[in-house]
Structure 1
Amino acid sequence: MDKVGLAVCYDTKNFGSQLQVLATVKMVEELGYDSEIIRYKKKLTPRFILQTIPRLMDVSFIKVKLAAKKKKKVIKRYPEVYKNVTMRNERFDGFVKEYFTNLSKPYNGWETLVKETARNYNLFLCGSDQLWLPHNLGSHFYTLEFAPDNKPKIAYATSFGVSDIPSRYRTGFTKFLKRFQALSTRELAGQKIIKDLIGKTTQVVCDPTLLFDADGWGKMIPDRRVVEEPYVFCYFLGTNEDHRKAAEEFKNKTGLKLVTCPFLDNFIERDLKFGDIQMFDMDAADFVNLIRHAEFILTDSFHGSVFSILHHKRFLTFNRFHAGVNSRNSRIDSLCTLLGLSNRRYDGDVMAVQGLIDYSRVENRVNILRNESIEYLRTALETTRIDK
């Protein structure tokens, strides 16, 4: 049996990221392939330093690192919050141990990664998530640059996270994209980027989490009620104050309690008192179950929107990022456009979340996209096999 080496972001502290990896692993398995999640452990070597130098000149990369450092520093000023966030991080790690049983041994350093993965895998697959954000290019891992030229390379639903590639990155992107035997992207904007850079028309496929319906997710994530009373699941990763005010307005008008997950991507002092039930002791399985049993969902998260759709919930999606050329709203834009759900975008009226959704129509679109996406992956895996 062919063995697929997966370059996926499995150990990040993000529910959606972990769930899309789980879906990728399960679908590759269902299509009849053995897979292993590649664990690359960076090692301080002259080569690694040379690879890292360009990233240190990237404003976006520096901002991300400084924001993470600042968040950790600020949280430590609040002992109870620090304790709770630490507990949640341990739950993230626990999910990895429970659900990702196909982890490779650690490949320590770039040279080891290149040498041993060439021997251990027949083909390579990267995706999904925003692995191709411009400031991530410097790691050279999720671009499969470590994989040998003579081994097939597949991208499934890999996202650029932006609608345009800055000029200073275009040469690097063009170079690694040309090495792929099968390319697909999660967004319409990504399809346009690839066409622009290498002249190839690629397929827009669904996020891995959409490869399974609610029943499929029920088999992966057992159903259990996390919060007993009726509630609104308010899942905000961004920092927008007005979004929180809107959620509180909805609470005041309906009497439903707000369940929140504070301090995931950012520390916001406002979130110290935002929400009636603040969730810390939770993992990605609990995230799915909080959506399953919510009365309504208010979210600025792509995967918060996806799982709301999969479980036929009434939801509103808020823009986490400011609009613009390099806005990272493109994946939600594509999702709503492809599924005919543009009216579920928040436009200032939070009470619109109560509007009914014709999920029979939505399901028809999801099924078409799901079937086309599974067929893309099946064909990509089959036609790129080197032992045919």
Structure 2
Amino acid sequence: MLQAYALQQAILSLGHDAEIIDYHDTEHQAANRILQPCDRLGSIVKNLFALLYYPQLKRQKRRFELFRSEYMKQTRRYNTIDELRKAPPEADLFLAGSDQIWNCANRFIEAYFLDFDTRGARRAAYAASIGTDTVLPERREKFGHLVRRFDCITAREPRLQTVLKELYQLDAEVVCDPVLLLQRKEWEQLSCGDAPMQGPYIFCYALGRYDEVNHCLEQLKQRTGFPVVTICQNGVCRIHSNTVIRDAGPVEFLRYLKNSDYVVCNSFHGTVLSTLFEKNFYSVVTPVSSSRVTGYLKMIGLEDRIYHQENNFSTESINYKGVHPKIQKFSEQSKKILQAMIENQSGTMMEKGAK
């Protein structure tokens, strides 16, 4: 949601209007329900925990909806791809982006490929990502058919750039994640308000593979003596925490991160926002996030903040003096590319790619 917000704000800042297609994929809606079907023992246990924390989880969902209604300009709601195909919104440009929108390891989500009649409007993708190393052989023909319909594609990771070139002879420039299109002061303005906690604390945001995250937290807590505050999206929390927050929406998430003394995360966006807020952080890479996280941290010169159990562990503050200019340069370059895409000045794919 913060990604979508950032891309919309960036487009508005360039002097253009922008609406977000309010598309609710039915499978994602089902996966994000507080209570899941009790079809196996694991889901029964999860539902019991969800019931225990139901008021907090319900408040979390309300805060996401409030953010959506207050900060994001949207089209009418579409619940299926058929609804979108029957009555697509009117636009001069349809822009797809960004995080793992083209990850088709399990299935294709056609809406994310803009697989509907655009009625003459151009198709483009900003910072598209596949989230995997390549496209599965059995999905390559359909993937190629869908991406060749785009007038211009930009990629978030060099890996997608390579895949598009090797498999489909399509050119794509690498641009920054939408979150980086906004300045730190813009994120601070969005998350203004009272600090959510008094005193120093370690903020944790982790998605799966918790063992190494817990190992990092235990070391950091032992060195600093600070408590661990974790944001959890469901009833079950496997992070070793002093405080678990289950009712945070996008704004609350930013406040907890911004006001923390240390951050431990294993997500790409947790890492990116830690650098924007100039936090002392450690990023635990996972098989899913490794190339995205390591690539970004190497680019800005902070690859030593990738946590490894065998490495020396430091609580020294990060010197961001040389880091900020690298982030700023990448952001400015990407914003220029975005502007060129919107104003139809970027014909890279049409000239060099297989259209």
- TM-score class, shorter: 0.7 to 0.9
1: CA distance between counterparts of 2:227 and 2:311?
15
Q: How many residues align?
A: 339
- 1:105 and 2:76 are equivalent in the alignment: yes
- 1:174 and 2:107 are equivalent in the alignment: no
1: CA distance between counterparts of 2:323 and 2:64?
31
Give the partner amino acid of 2:66.
Answer: G
| Deviation (angstroms), 1:106 | 2.2
Alignment-derived partner of residue 11 in structure 1:
none
SS across alignment from 1:244: helix
Give the partner amino acid of 2:22.
Answer: R
Give the partner amino acid of 1:88.
Answer: Q
Cα distance per residue 1:236-282 (max 9 Å; x no partner): 11132232133123212321010111345x945x44xx311111232
Alignment-derived partner of residue 381 in structure 1:
342
Identity rate of aligned residues, in percent? 27
Alignment-derived partner of residue 94 in structure 1:
66
1: CA distance between counterparts of 2:67 and 2:213?
29
2: CA distance between counterparts of 1:42 and 1:305?
27
SS across alignment from 2:7: helix
Distance 1:295 1:109, change over 3 A: closer
Alignment-derived partner of residue 284 in structure 1:
250
Mean Cα deviation higher: 374-383 or 150-159 = 150-159
Alignment-derived partner of residue 55 in structure 1:
none
Structure that is richer in helix per residue? 1
- Note the residue ranges of structure 2 that are not aligned, 5 or more in a row: 347-355
Give the partner amino acid of 1:300.
Answer: N
Alignment-derived partner of residue 22 in structure 2:
39
| Deviation (angstroms), 1:166 | 1.2
- 1:329 and 2:290 are equivalent in the alignment: yes
1: CA distance between counterparts of 2:146 and 2:291?
22
2: CA distance between counterparts of 1:288 and 1:42?
26
Mean Cα deviation higher: 219-228 or 254-263 = 219-228
The within-5 A match list for 1:176-325 is 176-264=146-234, 267=236, 270-271=238-239, 274-321=240-287
Distance 1:64 1:332, change over 3 A: farther
Cα distance per residue 1:97-144 (max 9 Å; x no partner): 2222x1111245444422422x62221001111111113652210001
Is the 1:132–1:143 contact (alpha carbons within 8 Å) kept by the matching residues of 2? Answer: yes
SS across alignment from 1:307: helix
2: CA distance between counterparts of 1:307 and 1:246?
19
Distance 1:175 1:292, change over 3 A: same
User: What's the TM-score, normalizing by structure 2?
Assistant: 0.86
Alignment-derived partner of residue 155 in structure 1:
125
Give the partner amino acid of 1:74.
Answer: V
The CA RMSD measured in Å over matched residues stands at 2.8
2: CA distance between counterparts of 1:73 and 1:96?
31
2: CA distance between counterparts of 1:307 and 1:186?
16
Distance 1:288 1:110, change over 3 A: closer
SS across alignment from 1:358: coil
SS across alignment from 2:263: strand
Give the partner amino acid of 1:225.
Answer: A
| Deviation (angstroms), 1:356 | 3.3
- 1:84 and 2:56 are equivalent in the alignment: yes
Is the 1:250–1:351 contact (alpha carbons within 8 Å) kept by the matching residues of 2? Answer: no
Is the 1:160–1:190 contact (alpha carbons within 8 Å) kept by the matching residues of 2? Answer: yes
| Deviation (angstroms), 1:94 | 2.3
Is the 2:267–2:289 contact (alpha carbons within 8 Å) kept by the matching residues of 1? Answer: no
Distance 1:72 1:27, change over 3 A: farther
Distance 1:109 1:163, change over 3 A: closer
Distance 1:173 1:64, change over 3 A: farther
User: What's the TM-score, normalizing by structure 1?
Assistant: 0.79
| Deviation (angstroms), 1:309 | 0.2
Cα distance per residue 1:52-90 (max 9 Å; x no partner): 9xxxxxxxxxx999xx76775432223323443333223
Cα distance per residue 1:346-367 (max 9 Å; x no partner): 0116873523323121112111
Is the 1:314–1:353 contact (alpha carbons within 8 Å) kept by the matching residues of 2? Answer: no
Is the 2:263–2:274 contact (alpha carbons within 8 Å) kept by the matching residues of 1? Answer: yes
Give the partner amino acid of 2:148.
Answer: K
2: CA distance between counterparts of 1:337 and 1:252?
28
| Deviation (angstroms), 1:337 | 2.4
| Deviation (angstroms), 1:339 | 1.6
